[in-house]
Structure 1
Amino acid sequence: MGPKAFVMEYWRLILIVAFVGGALVALFIPGGIVADDSLAGEEAEVEDRATNIEYGLGLDGGTRVSAPPVGMTADNLEIEHDEQRQLTEALLAYEYDDADLESADVRVRFHENDNRYTAEIFSDEVSHAEFADALNSADIGLEVTEDGVEDGVTQQTRDSIIQTIELRINEAGLSGGNAYEEATLGGQYYIVTEVPGMEPDELRELLSDRGDVRIVAFHPDGDGGQANQTVLEGQEIAEPGVASYDDQRDQHYVPVTVDGTEDEDGNSPASEYQNSMNELGFTGEGQGRCHIQDRQAGEFDFDPDDPQWCLLTVVDGDVVDAHSMGGDLGDNMAAGTWVNDPTFRMIVPTQQDAHHLAVNLQSGALEAPLDFSQEQTFTVQPSQAEQFQLYSLLIGGLAVLTVCGMIFLRYRNPKVAAPMFLTAMAEVVILLGFAAAIRMPLDLSHVAGFIAVVGTGVDDLVIIADEVMDDGDVSSSRVFESRFRKAFWIIGAAAATTIIALSPLAVLSLGDLRGFAIITILGVLIGVLITRPAYGDILQRLLTDK
């Protein structure tokens, strides 16, 4: 038999062997099937684990924090595209009673899918009436009333918050964490963040940081005083590096590359930063003239009789470091050549500050802060999670033993029972391998899904065995294939019904029910497409003359 004929003859068995082999690689080989650069810092942890399976909150301990975004929205604004910036400036210039808004607190967004504009303010110190008045003050013909303002933020803002949180979790080296949104019956949306192995205060700190990073120029204002001017924002940094240390200069820093992409006028963030440094004197008389920092005390007072040219690293409105313009960097900017390789170091006092700065630069700023006054927190202690792991293993083993016993009592024929048991276990191994390959954190809901998969899978295999063994003799391959097709239609229809019934649970944000539905649906698909046909092929070769 040639290779092609062999593959055509045994393709169902080859398929299940290939999937089981791939699953075993994903489960037990360090790094699994798909290489992931984000695991570089976790190699030691991976080697210490028996498998590549990651555990979620219920099986590893950790914290879940749910909180709504802070903000309010005015929708369906009748403005033109060239009025978008004017409206943003009006929202920032308006004199609110209790709020002092910055550019990060305001967003005017165009929605291309339905051709509409929305305005958002991410502050809880602005009233609906003030928001409406600020919109109307733009002098572009808007007539927004207080009733036209709603609490909450847009879907795009929520998606951006979730993406930023997930990036923060990954950059912080926290495996198994995820973020998603849940809707309440009242129409309010909560951002839910789950991180195994983290205490509530640690997770709350990770989420409470807005992550707004800026470089502020502290320079003489020409009237004998000092002035602050933002010269670079976090989103203008194209390639932030990792936390680093220069032992020769005793500096903790993050290397960054400023975005050099030019707009239609030939300007870029890099060229504008260079021009600002030249215009404000940092590359001339201001080189090396920053003496206001007490690095240990974190104080930034200055002598009014001694003009200062300091570059302040500001995170969420707090100055974390101040340093002067270096000679080499200043000379390159003065000559206009720095823009050709727009890199520099953002210096901070400690390694922890450098790591925190790098995470914020990599993930970006939270588009809107979260309202922790309405938070909901759920915590599982590691000791309790270890008990859940043990109980899950015991329940899973008990389910397998029960299935084995029922199969043996039912058939008392090793040719039927042994392949049935092995096929059911292969289905579980493939599911576990899939979870390990995509780094799906397994939780208690997934364990329930695995047990359901074992039960429904064996049910289908019993249907196949009963149908093909009906009326006794099944030695003819033609008779076997006819009966198998009939059984397969039955289990196929049952699988379709199961998938349709569980699909809403898998799509909707319903907490643990979602994990149960996803695992069950995946198990049904693997069974119908891979394991059931393979079991039929094995049974045919054991019971017929083929």
Structure 2
Amino acid sequence: MSAWGSAKENWRVVLLVAMLVLSTVFLFAPGIGAGSGGGTTNGTTGGPVAESSGVTNLQYGLELSGGTRIRAPLAGVHATDVDFGGQNASTVESRVAAELSGVDVTDVTARPPGTYTQQDVTQQTATVELTTEDATTDELAGALDAAGYGYEAVQEGVTDVTIQQAVVVLRSKVNEAGLSGGSVRTVESGGENFVLIEVPNEDRSEVVDLVDSRGTVRIVVYHPVQQNNTTTYVNTTAITQEQFQSVGTARQDDSGGAFVSVAVREEAAPSVQRTFVDTNVAQPGGSDCRYESNPQSTEPCILVVRDGAVVSSFGMDGGLANSMQSGEWANNPTFILTTGSGQAAFERAQEVSVDLRAGALPAPLALDEGTTTTVTASQGESFRTDSLIIGLLAVLTVAGVVFLRYGRPQVAAPMVVTALSEVVVLLGFAAFIRYPLDLSVIAGFIAVIGTGVDDLVIIADEVMSEGDVNSRRVFESRFRKAFWVIGAAAATTIIAMSPLAVLSLGDLQGFAIFTILGVLVGVLITRPAYGDILRALLTDR
């Protein structure tokens, strides 16, 4: 038979070899992997991604590289279906805060119903939140009653909008701090939502200081002044972070325009208004900012400055400028930063909202109610060594049992090699997508070896159930019967593991994902290839 005919007949083996070669390339070739070139943040399915392991392109998670994991809820309580009585959110916040002893207005957040687009969270009813560490439902209920606002219920915890805003702010903190591979995401446990922060190669004190610290964000006016008969542009601070009462999330109006609403504290409003007027950014008819195209030739501009760096620039609308000129703005100190229309403008509005919130969480982390885990670098290295030893023991144990069971190398040897090939393919996939390997993923690999050998034993037992088989027709009949059993078992495993793979259940997610991937690789590639190998070894040509 020609080489082409043999390859065509045993195409499943050829496919397995091709997958092994490709996986080897992903594992060892330099520069391979999605987003290669350093640590990345994986906030969807995996944990933090540490730096490459060196010899291979595999990435280690926190448990195998060392670092800190903080899991804590956000402190606060909230009321649902609140009747604002036609008042704006700023007024509601001020009136509710006035009824609470020792509570600042920034600790009260009122939101009308709508879609808040940090994570496309839709809030069906108006809510009022109290976000202090010792907040109680009775305290908020009493304040709402005293302020005259009706509501449906007061509940423990914060709203989904606040949770997603906190995740965005914390991710910004981690990324700005240059902590390679840090991740921030939400997990659910016991019906309660937690924020999970994982940062490789950092100890607890540094991570806690980072998530609790407040960044320096301010709004300044960039404007020209005359000095020694020369025009010079200077920055005059208009609003400091302490003067913000609230910063809204990015939103879009009916025409597609993107904007961020900002409210200033009432006591700071007169000085803010005076600064805008004196610097001429609030000139009659408004101002047009050309800072991004030519900073040295522009009308006065409003700049968002974070830690000394300009991150956004805006002009001033004529209506807003005229209200500041007349002095009316200080009576209702709110304004809107408009970023244009379209998807790009909306994304920019999201960035502006995050920048203004940077360092200021919408609710504090209740660290005392959460858990903190720190793994040193030496512990991570020890875990990697232990995982390798356990993996080798699993392989040797499986190989020994298989050889004792069959006593025929032509049956047992391909079985062990085929089972191990599944692990190689999964490792190559993990290296390509830069999925962080942690103990749960290692457990998934071991489960894959076990279930894989189970399926291969089913194939071998069915094929050899009535003694040696010399006819290929008989072999194919018995193999198909075994494959139906394997397919049903695989479907059951996938169905059972799917909820764990899609829900935010922490370490269980990685275990489920790689168990499912292992089952798919086995059913689609390795089991059929093993069947071709057995057919070639056990039947006459």
TM over 0.5: yes
For the residues of structure 2 that align with 1:265 and 1:17, how far apart are their CA atoms? 52
2:299 is aligned with 1:333 = yes
1:321 corresponding residue in structure 2: none
2:61 corresponding residue in structure 1: 56
For the residues of structure 1 that align with 2:491 and 2:257, how far apart are their CA atoms? 57
Letter in 2 for 1:490: V
Equivalent residue runs for 1:29-428 within 5 Å: 29-35=29-35, 39=39, 49-77=54-82, 83=86, 86-93=88-95, 94-95=97-98, 96-102=100-106, 105-110=109-114, 115-124=124-133, 128=137, 131-132=140-141, 135=144, 142-144=149-151, 148-166=153-171, 168-170=173-175, 172-185=177-190, 187-209=191-213, 213-215=217-219, 229=239, 279-282=276-279, 329=295, 331-334=297-300, 348=308, 361=355, 366-428=361-423
Does the C-alpha gap of structure 1 residues 425 and 173 become closer, same or farther in structure 2, counting only changes over 3 Å? farther
Under a length normalisation based on structure 2, what TM-score does the superposition of the two structures give?
0.69
Please state whether the residue corresponding to 1:534 is helix, strand or coil: helix
Letter in 2 for 1:34: A
Please state whether the residue corresponding to 1:280 is helix, strand or coil: helix
1:71 and 1:151 in contact (8 A); partners too:
yes
Give, in angstroms, the shift of residue 429 of structure 1.
Answer: 0.9
2:530 is aligned with 1:526 = no
1:64 and 1:192 in contact (8 A); partners too:
yes
1:88-146 deviation line (CA, Å, top 9, x unaligned): 4321344132122239844444368784333333334665456446656887xx4237x
Give, in angstroms, the shift of residue 514 of structure 1.
Answer: 4.0
For the residues of structure 2 that align with 1:73 and 1:344, how far apart are their CA atoms? 30
Aligned length: 453
1:379-412 deviation line (CA, Å, top 9, x unaligned): 2222222222111111111221222223333334
Does the C-alpha gap of structure 1 residues 173 and 16 become closer, same or farther in structure 2, counting only changes over 3 Å? farther
2:510 is aligned with 1:515 = yes
Letter in 2 for 1:149: V
Does the C-alpha gap of structure 1 residues 52 and 527 become closer, same or farther in structure 2, counting only changes over 3 Å? same
For the residues of structure 1 that align with 2:256 and 2:448, how far apart are their CA atoms? 60
Does the C-alpha gap of structure 1 residues 52 and 115 become closer, same or farther in structure 2, counting only changes over 3 Å? same
Which range moves more in the overlay, 403-412 or 130-139? 130-139
For the residues of structure 2 that align with 1:429 and 1:519, how far apart are their CA atoms? 12
For the residues of structure 2 that align with 1:236 and 1:447, how far apart are their CA atoms? 43
Please state whether the residue corresponding to 2:74 is helix, strand or coil: coil
For the residues of structure 1 that align with 2:275 and 2:532, how far apart are their CA atoms? 77
Please state whether the residue corresponding to 1:66 is helix, strand or coil: strand
Give, in angstroms, the shift of residue 537 of structure 1.
Answer: 2.1
Letter in 2 for 1:15: L
Which range moves more in the overlay, 130-139 or 14-23? 130-139
For the residues of structure 1 that align with 2:439 and 2:84, how far apart are their CA atoms? 50
Which range moves more in the overlay, 108-117 or 148-157? 108-117
For the residues of structure 2 that align with 1:236 and 1:100, how far apart are their CA atoms? 18
For the residues of structure 2 that align with 1:361 and 1:443, how far apart are their CA atoms? 33
Does the C-alpha gap of structure 1 residues 470 and 72 become closer, same or farther in structure 2, counting only changes over 3 Å? same
Does the C-alpha gap of structure 1 residues 91 and 25 become closer, same or farther in structure 2, counting only changes over 3 Å? same
1:56-114 deviation line (CA, Å, top 9, x unaligned): 2321122221211022211234579xx5x714432134413212223984444436878
1:63 and 1:195 in contact (8 A); partners too:
yes
2:218 and 2:304 in contact (8 A); partners too:
no
2:424 is aligned with 1:433 = no
Letter in 2 for 1:430: V
Which range moves more in the overlay, 275-284 or 533-542? 275-284
1:451-504 deviation line (CA, Å, top 9, x unaligned): 221122112111111211232342322211111111111122222333344444
For the residues of structure 2 that align with 1:150 and 1:345, how far apart are their CA atoms? 37
Equivalent residue runs for 1:488-503 within 5 Å: 488-503=483-498
1:58 and 1:385 in contact (8 A); partners too:
yes
Query: Percent identity at matched positions?
Result: 45
Does the C-alpha gap of structure 1 residues 31 and 88 become closer, same or farther in structure 2, counting only changes over 3 Å? farther
1:190-245 deviation line (CA, Å, top 9, x unaligned): 222222211011111222246583325699xxxxxx9954699898999xxxxxxx
Under a length normalisation based on structure 1, what TM-score does the superposition of the two structures give?
0.68
1:444 to 434, 439, 449: 439
Give, in angstroms, the shift of residue 50 of structure 1.
Answer: 1.2
For the residues of structure 1 that align with 2:356 and 2:56, how far apart are their CA atoms? 30
For the residues of structure 1 that align with 2:489 and 2:356, how far apart are their CA atoms? 47
1:308-355 deviation line (CA, Å, top 9, x unaligned): xxxxxxxxxxxxxxxxx9xx8475124xxx6xxx98875639xxxxxx
Structure 1 unpaired stretches of 5+: 220-225, 239-258, 285-324, 350-356
For the residues of structure 2 that align with 1:184 and 1:199, how far apart are their CA atoms? 25
Please state whether the residue corresponding to 1:195 is helix, strand or coil: strand
Please state whether the residue corresponding to 1:69 is helix, strand or coil: coil
Please state whether the residue corresponding to 2:430 is helix, strand or coil: helix
2:53 and 2:59 in contact (8 A); partners too:
no
1:322 corresponding residue in structure 2: none
RMSD of aligned C-alpha atoms? 4.7
Letter in 1 for 2:438: D
Give, in angstroms, the shift of residue 3 of structure 1.
Answer: 12
Give, in angstroms, the shift of residue 178 of structure 1.
Answer: 3.3
Structure 2 unpaired stretches of 5+: 42-49, 116-120, 224-235, 262-271, 282-290, 310-350
2:418 and 2:526 in contact (8 A); partners too:
yes
1:98 and 1:125 in contact (8 A); partners too:
no
2:52 and 2:58 in contact (8 A); partners too:
no
Give, in angstroms, the shift of residue 521 of structure 1.
Answer: 2.6
For the residues of structure 2 that align with 1:173 and 1:229, how far apart are their CA atoms? 27
1:502 and 1:517 in contact (8 A); partners too:
yes
1:462 corresponding residue in structure 2: 457
1:72 and 1:153 in contact (8 A); partners too:
yes
2:187 and 2:504 in contact (8 A); partners too:
yes
2:315 corresponding residue in structure 1: none
